[in-house]
Amino acid sequence: MTRQGKILLGAAGLALLGLAGAAWAQGGGVTAAMAAAQVGERADGYLGVRGSVSDAVKAEVEQINIKRRALYTSRAQERGVAVEAIAAATACQAMQRVGVGQAYNLGGGWAVRGAGDAAPKPANCP
């Protein structure tokens, strides 16, 4: 792993600590939609809508993504790296939490984690 890769992975870990707050918080609508594989994690560090969801859930996903972007931007400025690099590194960690029956998108379309499947891993992750 390159030095920059290690820095970004460390940044992702720190970003996740920060994301434990408002940027990671999910209301009941998003939580239920994630359990139903209608909303899921994307390889770019943001939530995505996979299926048909209510306008309230769409708005909640948007608000979560706005908070994530703000956190990623702050972390990127602190470390002198691109926002996208922090977001993608954070996605490496977020994908580890995708549970069985939950949706995820590694960039090539949506999938649902099966019972025997390993955690999804974006191509940029170590």
Strands 103-105 and 47-49: unpaired
Residue bearing the bigger pLDDT, 79 or 25? 79
pLDDT at 10 over 90: no
Cα–Cα distances in angstroms (integers) from residue 35 to residues 5, 14, 29, 72, in the given order: 31, 26, 10, 25
**pTM listed for this prediction:** 0.81
Strands 39-42 and 47-49: antiparallel
- Per-residue pLDDT of 59-98, as tens digits, reads 999 999 999 999 999 999 999 999 999 999 999 999 999 9
Confidence of residue 34 (pLDDT cuts 50, 70, 90): very high
Which phi-psi region, left, alpha or beta, contains residue 45 (left: φ > 0; alpha: ψ -120 to 50)?
Answer: left
pLDDT at 1 over 60: no
